[in-house]
Amino acid sequence: MEKLIQFKELGLSESTLKALDKKGFEEPSPIQKMTIPILLKGGQDVIGQAQTGTGKTAAFGLPLIEKLEPSKDKKVQALVLAPTRELAVQVAEEINSLKGKKKLKVLPVYGGQSIEQQIRQLKTGIDIIVGTPGRIMDHLDRKTMKINEISYFILDEADEMLNMGFVEDIESILKKTPDEKQMLFFSATMPNEIMKIAKKYMKSPEVLSVKKDQLTTNLTEQIYFEVSNSDKFEALCRIIDIEEFFYGIIFCRTKLSVDEVALKLGERGYLAEALHGDISQYQRERILKKFKTKNINILVATDVAARGIDVTELTHVINYALPQDPESYVHRIGRTGRAGKEGTAITFVTPEEYRKLLFIKKVAKTEIRKENLPGIYDIINKKKSQIKKDIECIMNENSFDKFSELANEILKDKNPVDVIASLIKYSFEDDLNEKNYNEIKESKFDINKKGKTRLFVALGKIDGMNPKKLVDFIEKESGVLKDNIRDSKIFDKFSFITVPFEEAEVIIETFKKGKKGKRPLIEKAKEGKK
């Protein structure tokens, strides 16, 4: 428990320190150092700005565990809102794993699970509810949940809530809560809409901001492969096979994809396990123990399920599917290149996703270089090399004495080369047979990567635009330097600009949610309208 001195200094009790020790925590993260003392003190509302994966759940979960006692009248004491089912489950499991022997009841409440089952559990009395806005609203409408006496209201991943259109639901839920409560908003970014809600419902909140981690690490090599969806799994196997020792996390976007990829890897003989929101806490801990001790060397996971995994020796992170945003990409690849170890981040990109890749490169300010996948004969030659190395290792260890008698019998009156060749065929015929490998078709990106693109902008003179104002506006919003924005033509109701292809993709991605009437704010100009 000596390692937990810093946690003790934050004001946490011995019982909580024991729970942290059991979980393998060593020192608090920056957001935990800032948040825990304030929440323990009570009364002060808090806005915490920190990236995903920085220990936010423990930052609010530990104070809740410390401050709350099991309710005697079955009343809800704390409500945590999360944007997705998976995150709600993850947060609830994390709080449960940290509470030690304290008898607090924690329940994840989300759509997709039987509402009748949730009602039965709610009737038993729940202290901390972790839920998605939609399902919480369902319960409030049915009057199967009461939050009018809660002491704590926590909004996790507030900016993601905004992106998913939950702002109205959040306000409706907040109106059902008491005026006197402690509130905490966590968000990676602080858009105006979130700040408006904070101003309306919070009382002089203290804003805590953790400096963003360096976006990439010098020890992480970043490459991408152009592949079609149908060839992704074959490409994955080749990447694993070409390595002398592969120890990594494969990120998929959905639980179904995680299960599918893990199952197919297992069927091919790889040591892989799946990790996602439907995995119980017991299973999760068992799988992570196997992974950390290298009894398995491949973990297939969703972003949310991979949170809290601290492994310093990963050789690879593979984005089987592109992440939703640049921040998620940065967080994923940051798992390699830790503790002075070199690591490789590999991303599979389909032709349809190339625009998104460019956006990630631009926002994350990182270079992701294109490579060609290993060919069939590259894999076979690698396996031949490994067979030779393994045999030499056994010979150097002199660990073959009990087989010498049988070897002499086999070699009697035979050509040694023929005998060795026969043994290699007996043991490795499938591995070294090129017919057992599927071809991967070259994926063509039908994009003119070096050209320029003409963009239509649904803003013109009536919107107060002139060439300078338009260029300044686009630079400010997208980060594309004004030097790249040329040939601006401003008309009464719309405008045109010309930009290099990559910058065009970044601008379109930035403004994709902006509308003027029914038309996108910025889009590629149609032929004949340039």
Say if 441 falls within a structural domain. no
Residues 385, 422 share a domain? yes
Residue 458 structural domain = 452-524
Residues 184, 82 share a domain? yes
Residues 188, 124 share a domain? yes
Domain count, the chain: 4
Say if 446 falls within a structural domain. no
Comparing 228-242, 379-393, 506-520, the range with the smallest average pLDDT is 506-520
Residues 302, 430 share a domain? no
Say if 468 falls within a structural domain. yes
Q: Per-residue pLDDT averaged across 76-81, rounded?
A: 96
Q: What is the pLDDT of residue 422?
A: 92
Residues 359, 383 share a domain? no
Q: Per-residue pLDDT averaged across 449-469, rounded?
A: 84
Q: What is the pLDDT of residue 111?
A: 86
Q: Per-residue pLDDT averaged across 169-184, rounded?
A: 93
Q: Which pTM does this prediction carry? A: 0.53
**Residue 276 clears pLDDT 80, i.e. is over it:** yes
Residues 57, 36: Cα–Cα separation, whole Å: 11
Residues 361, 392 share a domain? no
* % of the chain with per-residue pLDDT over 90: 35
Pairing of strands 316-319, 78-81: unpaired
**Residue 217 clears pLDDT 60, i.e. is over it:** no
Q: What is the pLDDT of residue 53?
A: 58
Q: Answer whether 200's CB lies under 8 Å from 321's CB.
A: no
Q: Per-residue pLDDT averaged across 366-390, rounded?
A: 87
Q: What is the pLDDT of residue 54?
A: 67
**Tell me: the pLDDT tens digits for 514-527?**
777 777 889 888 75
Residues 384, 378: Cα–Cα separation, whole Å: 10
Q: Per-residue pLDDT averaged across 404-414, rounded?
A: 89
Q: What is the pLDDT of residue 448?
A: 46
Residues 362, 331 share a domain? yes
Comparing 39-48, 370-379, 444-453, 503-512, the range with the smallest average pLDDT is 444-453
Residues 184, 144 share a domain? yes
The one-character DSSP state at 213 is P
Residues 365, 233 share a domain? yes
Residues 282, 347 share a domain? yes
Q: Per-residue pLDDT averaged across 308-335, rounded?
A: 80
Residues 51, 157 share a domain? yes
**Of 209, 243, 263, at which residue does a domain stop?**
209
**Residue 447 clears pLDDT 50, i.e. is over it:** no
Comparing 69-73, 280-284, 448-452, 511-515, the range with the smallest average pLDDT is 448-452
Nearest Cα to Cα of residue 441 among 223, 228, 225, 241: 228
- Find the distance separating the first CA and the last CA of the chain, reported in whole Å: 68
Residues 428, 316 share a domain? no
| 366 burial via Cβ count (<10 Å: 0-12, 13-18, 19+) | middle
56: domain CATH number is 3.40.50.300
Nearest Cα to Cα of residue 157 among 168, 148, 170, 146: 170
**Residue 214 clears pLDDT 50, i.e. is over it:** no
Q: Answer whether 306's CB lies under 8 Å from 340's CB.
A: no
Say if 313 falls within a structural domain. yes
Q: What is the pLDDT of residue 215?
A: 41
Position 151 confidence tier, pLDDT thresholds 50, 70, 90: very high
